[in-house]
Amino acid sequence: MSPFVGASEQRPLLDDPAFPAIERILGRFGGHAAGPLVLVVAGLHGNEPSGVTALRRVVAKLHERQPQFRGEFIAVAGNIAALKEGVRFIERDLNRGWSVRSVARCLDRPMSAEDREQAGLINVLVPRLRDADAETYVFDLHSTSSASAPFLTLADTLENRSFARRLGMPLVLGIEEQIDGAMLEYLGGFGPIALGVEAGQHDDPVSVDIHEAATWMALTEAGCLSRNTRLFDIKECRRRLGIARAGLPHVFEVVYRRCVEPGDGFEMEPGHRNFERVRAGQVIARTNKGPVEIPENGWLFLPLYQKLGDDAYFLVRPVRPIWLQVSRVLRRLGFARFLPLLPGIHYARKRTDTYVVDRSVARWLVIQLFHLLGYRRIRTTSKVVVFRGQGAKEDL
């Protein structure tokens, strides 16, 4: 018997007459007993409806069964306009443009459909994160255009990493260093544990089940629900997620991004899947200029099989457990405070969690060192590289 409530038998269609109209708040539960705040966003991309379907299942089951519940759970719809059209976005990607300046502008003068969607999300999410007096969690539910095992994305803080490992899916670090202005990066500045949950291919009914399982497990691991609740079988959820993981390494890091250039006619060769092993020189796509070759050996990540989007594909590589242990020890010892003692590294003028590296002085293993300490590149020029601590708010 499936551990998931009403496991999918067919593709979830948001335009189905039986599917209720989408509102910003898909549902909520709890809020009476002290405990954590759990915010789950689904459908930030409108061609990824599986998370919306999964959250509706979870909310319906909670209200039907009325279990003991600590804290509050709020399920939130992302890009409502795009969800109704079944497209990734209307005018711009809603999972970009979450810098402090962009947020202020869209609240002050929303110009596009996605500006209005973003303002709606900000008005729901930010006051609750800012005013919360307990632990907070934010989960962002996504799916992929290629076939894929489920996985998690996260800013590499020790808190995020620890919680993510308890959900039993592969972790992918460093995606926020390759793309600018993701929602979780902005919301992480308010201090929650923040994870992206990628369930599988957009149209695969199993993606709904994975998102539902991940939500039940997140609510349990956050302490909202007892492990003994009869709402679902957590052991079976873990078993199913383990099967879906297909023996992949536990942790990957992003090492390369190939973007889609305007008008280059990028088109992936058919049949590739997420986490596929690829080799240098392998042709995996075509453009108007000719074949696209893989630049180095690695694992293919998020190959693009949809019309909208500017990320053609990424490459990832496994992270050896020893480096995760070294990273944890260095961070707990506060090693970052010694960075300005190293040649070519100094604090940025305005912040103590942002560092500027002189590339003419500090030349070797700089990126690896900062990654070990939980910092990411926010700017690279011919002369300097700037790193900021993950989860830190940016300057206005």
Tens place of pLDDT per residue across the chain (396 aa): 344 433 333 334 444 444 567 899 999 999 889 999 999 999 999 999 999 999 999 999 999 999 999 999 999 999 999 999 999 999 999 999 999 999 999 999 989 999 999 999 999 999 999 999 999 999 999 999 999 999 999 999 999 999 999 998 999 999 988 888 899 999 999 999 999 999 999 989 999 999 999 999 999 999 999 988 878 887 888 887 888 877 899 999 999 999 998 888 999 999 999 999 999 999 999 999 999 999 999 999 999 999 888 899 999 999 999 999 999 999 999 999 999 999 999 998 767 789 999 999 987 888 889 999 999 888 888 899 999 887 655 543
Identify the DSSP state of 257: E
The model carries a pTM of 0.89
Fold of 25-245: Aminopeptidase (3.40.630)
Please state, in angstroms and rounded to a whole number, the distance separating the CA atoms of residues 151 and 142.
10
The residues of the chain that CATH labels 2.40.50.100 are 253-318
Nearest to 2 by CA among 209, 219, 149: 209
Distinct helix (H) and strand (E) counts, the chain? 11, 18
**Packing angle between helix 234-245 and helix 205-221, nearest 10 degrees?**
130
Q: Where in the chain is the domain with CATH 3.40.630.10?
A: 25-245
* Cα–Cα distance, 212 to 116 (Å, whole number): 28
For domain 253-318, the question of CATH label 1.10.1370.30 is answered with no
Contacts of 64 (CB under 8 A, 6+ apart): none
Residue 392's pLDDT is what? 58
The pLDDT of residue 18: 43
Of 326, 8, 315, 177, residue with least CA distance to 185: 177
Long-range contacts for 8-12 (Cβ within 8 Å, ≥24 apart)?
Answer: 8/53, 8/205, 8/206, 8/208, 8/209, 9/205, 10/205, 11/203, 11/205, 12/49, 12/50, 12/52, 12/53, 12/205, 12/208
- The encoded tokens of residue 38 equal 């759990």
Dig out the tokens for 310 from the structure: 């500017």
pLDDT of residue 177: 86
Return the pLDDT at 241: 81
The set of residues, in sequence order, having a beta carbon less than 8 Å from that of 365 and lying 6+ positions away, is: none
